[in-house]
Amino acid sequence: MTYRKEIDGLRALAVVSVILFHAGFKWIGGGYIGVDMFFVISGYLITSLLLKDLEHGVFSIKTFYEKRARRILPALFFILLLCLPFAWVWFLPNELKDFGKSLIAVVAFVSNIFFLQETDYFTSNAELIPLLHTWSLAVEEQFYLVFPLLLALFWRGGQAVLFTLMGVIALLSLGLTEWGWRYYPNANFYLILTRAWELMMGALLANYLFYHQSPKGWICHWASLFGLVLIVGSFFFLDKSIPFPSVYTLIPTLGTLLVILFANQDTLVNKLLSLKLLVGIGLISYSAYLWHQPLFIFARAASIDTPSLTLMGFLSVATFPLAYLSWRYIESPFRNRQHFTQKQIFMFTFGCSLLFIVVGLFLILSDGAMYRFS
């Protein structure tokens, strides 16, 4: 699959918007839509890779899970490990007990279901949950568990069958979303059933481009620019008062789709998103996403008063050098097969998961290490 710099540029826009939103900057009230951009991008990239493997007859579910483990787990486990001492020092027993529960939920990839039971994403108590942002990782992992098997099952049916399959899933999920925000808004926000259509948008685009040439000509300039306007406009004109996800989510997700489809090398949008700074941020965007929430939460937990926007701005900037270090020394080595074999990756995954489950159970059974207090 050809590397596309502009997609890393899109990732940069997505992660910066999420970080600024979580930092508390009111002027980017729709910054949370960065997660929806990530869903579309993931759906597109994963489906493109799967279709390529299926075409060449080298698809293996074991290899697929190995690649996902290399990509996601080392940096995630590293952040979980770093969170432990700060939670131990600054959290009250009930908070530490909840943190223990969230540790187990994260490594089991059900944190979206756990946080559905615990908190509303947009309420003030969400500002004291260091692993809340992992709900989106759980959604993607649940997608990875099912979608590759479906794709392999229907692959021989050709483009029309795959397009129909993805389209039906997307329409059913979008319809469920429109029903869900009216009656079960919290579940609507967190669950894969009401998020699947966003991933399917990327998958549908990947399926189309797998069988067709990318568009050419003047339409690419205007369509990609319109897509970028939809994305940037969503940052500033959407806010917490708008039902989400809902049909409003089509604004940034369609924008993302238009950029991926039309922003070829001749377009202004491609040149903007391919700027070195944006591409660099995009490359470390996963680590930046992992880092930012714990930084913000522990800053709030350690402060008597609400941290100033100056401090939150500083922590927002500090996220990126920290993300670079974890990308350079954690993410990259584990993705290199010359450093770690498939067997070692699976053993590492099992060992670390077991460790965090044991720590989580200890924090739960000890009532948040109540003995720390007289």
State the pLDDT at residue 121.
66
On the question of pLDDT at 127 being above 80, the answer is no
Position with higher pLDDT, 156 vs 108: 108
Nearest to 7 by CA among 274, 204, 220, 277: 274
Confidence (pLDDT) at 304: 76
Which secondary structure element, helix H or strand E, spans residue 47, and what is its range? helix 34-55
Asked if the model's pLDDT at residue 280 lies above 80, the reply is yes
pLDDT for res 88: 92
List the single range of 103-112, 154-163, 228-237 with lowest mean pLDDT: 154-163
> 50-59, 69-78, 96-105, 365-374: which range is least confident on average?
365-374
Q: Round to whole Å and give the CA distance between 39 and 177.
A: 15
| Residue 296: both structure tokens together | 């913000």
Cis peptide before 74 (omega within 30 of 0): no
Percent of the chain scoring above 70 in pLDDT: 97
Of 58 and 304, the one with more pLDDT? 58
pLDDT at 370: 87
Burial class of 71 by CB neighbour count within 10 A (0 to 12, 13 to 18, 19+): middle
Q: What pLDDT sits at residue 100?
A: 95
For residues 9-13, average pLDDT: 97
Neighbour tally for 142: CB within 10 Å: 19
Q: How would residue 288 be classed by pLDDT, with cut points 50, 70 and 90?
A: very high
In whole angstroms, give the CA distance from residue 107 to residue 76.
9
Among 75-89, 149-163, 257-271, 350-364, where is mean pLDDT lowest? 149-163
Segment 91-102, tens digit of pLDDT? 989 999 999 999
Cβ atoms of 330 and 75 closer than 8 Å? yes
3-state SS, residue 360: helix
Residue 324 in this model has a pLDDT that exceeds 90: yes
Write down the pLDDT at residue 124.
54
3-state secondary structure 246-272: CHHHHHHHHHHHHHHHHCCCCCHHHHH
Indicate whether 146 pLDDT > 80.
Answer: yes
302: confidence class by pLDDT, cuts 50, 70, 90 = confident
Q: What is the pLDDT of residue 225?
A: 96
The answer to whether 92 and 368 are in contact (CB under 8 A) is yes
pLDDT (tens digit, 9 = 90+) per residue, 183-241? 999 999 999 999 999 999 999 999 999 988 889 988 999 999 999 999 999 999 998 88
38-57: pLDDT as tens digits: 999 999 999 999 999 999 98
User: How confident is the prediction for the chain on average, in pLDDT?
Assistant: 92
- Residue 362's pLDDT is what? 95
Spans of all domains in the chain: 5-369
Question: Is 66 within 8 Å of 343 (Cβ atoms)?
Answer: no
Let me know how long the chain is: 374
